[in-house]
Amino acid sequence: MASTLALERVIGASVDSTVGAAFKVLDARIRQLAQLSDKRTAELDTVGSHWG
């Protein structure tokens, strides 16, 4: 029983750090895409103001 709990704790800690790292990468990518989207929207607004 104690060895099972210890193993679960080790596995849980490994998974926790992996999932945490994955979420950090995902969060960074989402922020990068949001910035790119904002930039493209501003560019389209600029082009649109020249034609409108």
Total-model pTM: 0.63
Q: What percent of the chain has pLDDT over 90?
A: 44
How far is residue 41's CA from residue 52's CA, in Å, rounded to a whole number? 16
Mean pLDDT of 21-49: 94
Q: Is 31 inside a domain boundary?
A: yes
Q: Is 10 inside a domain boundary?
A: no
What SS3 string covers the chain?
Answer: CHHHHHHHHHHHHHHHHHHHHHHHHHHHHHHHHHHHHHHHHHHHHHHHHHHC
Q: Is 14 inside a domain boundary?
A: no
| Count of structural domains within the chain | 1
Q: Is 13 inside a domain boundary?
A: no
